[in-house]
Structure 1
Amino acid sequence: HTIRPSFEVIKTKPGVNVVSSVFLMALADRVLVYGDCAVIPDPTADQLADIAVSSADTAAQFGIRPRIAMLSYSTGESGTGAEVDKVREATALVRERAPHLPVAGPIQYDAAADPTVAEKKMPGSDVAGQATVFIFPDLNTGNNTYKAVQRSAGAVAMGPVLQGLNAPVNDLSRGATVPDIVNTIAITAIQAQSA
């Protein structure tokens, strides 16, 4: 409800069907992009593909080379089920819509982030072990993961950064701290400059 007026007034960018969000996760040695962690509870394969392409664009805006991991509880062909099939279909749609973007999926988080695990689970991938954009299969997984990494790994979580709109709009949680507010202002200014 908080962000609905932006859909109605600013509207979505041409070619974008859904508004979604990412968190920029500043770790000690790199910045990762996590999407969608705040807007779409249970995205379809089509929506997941849109989220991935928008998240790659957001990553590039902030100088992060996008390498997209379409996350699942299964890597490659190792598992089956409706949830895995949805991610597999979404990965195919990303390849179709944005063939220039490196994407792997379905892939588990460890295979996406750790080169040693990637070599075992998805050898030869240009994304596995070096992903920068992590697309979660649903809001429950995404929201809990960003908070777990923020609290357990000491990462600075900046967001939610809304994407897919004609102009930058961002949201703040009721529990936002002064640094959260400052980071969100900086992010919104960078988005406005690159628009």
Structure 2
Amino acid sequence: MRSLVYYVASTIDGFIAGPGSEVDFFSADGDHVAAIGEEYPETIPVHFRSVLGIDPPNRTIDTVLEGRGSYQFGLDDGVANAYPHLRHLVFSRTLGTAPDPAVEVVATDPVARVRALKREPGGRIWLCGGGEIAGVLRDEIDELAIKIYPVAIGSGRPLFGAAGFAPHQFRVASSRTFDDGVVFVHYARQPAHDHPGFGA
């Protein structure tokens, strides 16, 4: 069974963007950039690859999922497919046909689609964002890979959108603190049976 990993940047108070989709407080400089890029090369978008003059091979991920809001970031920059090196799905009931024929638009139930993807052969599935689709898919997320930046913004778009109260237990699989202040934590979902009474 393939795993779904939610790899995303977050503030220390749990936001992935500001209230107006601002992300300029997430620094693209510092010692965390190259190190995390080596671990997750698949997440480097095509327009950054061309600027940096790199084209690293995929390591463990072969599919990327996005919500409409996350996908719109690329469209606003004139990039219709930021991840041509991955199978690319966008969940949207309003987008219609994607401007890039390699991008599959999914207008049906995201949970059912992800469960079907997990049953297919292949590598890990990356949930790129945003928070709303992460909230919808929260029960399907097997791993969290969170770049926690040393900034608090007070309000904005939360890590899991408007998902309701429903505790999910994860364990820290690994963590790394960088000189630039970014903390990279990889969590794995903890099976419910490992926590008697949890969520009761």
TM-score calculated relative to the size of structure 1: 0.30
More strand by share: 2
Higher helix share goes to which structure?
A: 1
Larger Rg: 2
What TM-score comes out, normalization by structure 2 length?
0.29
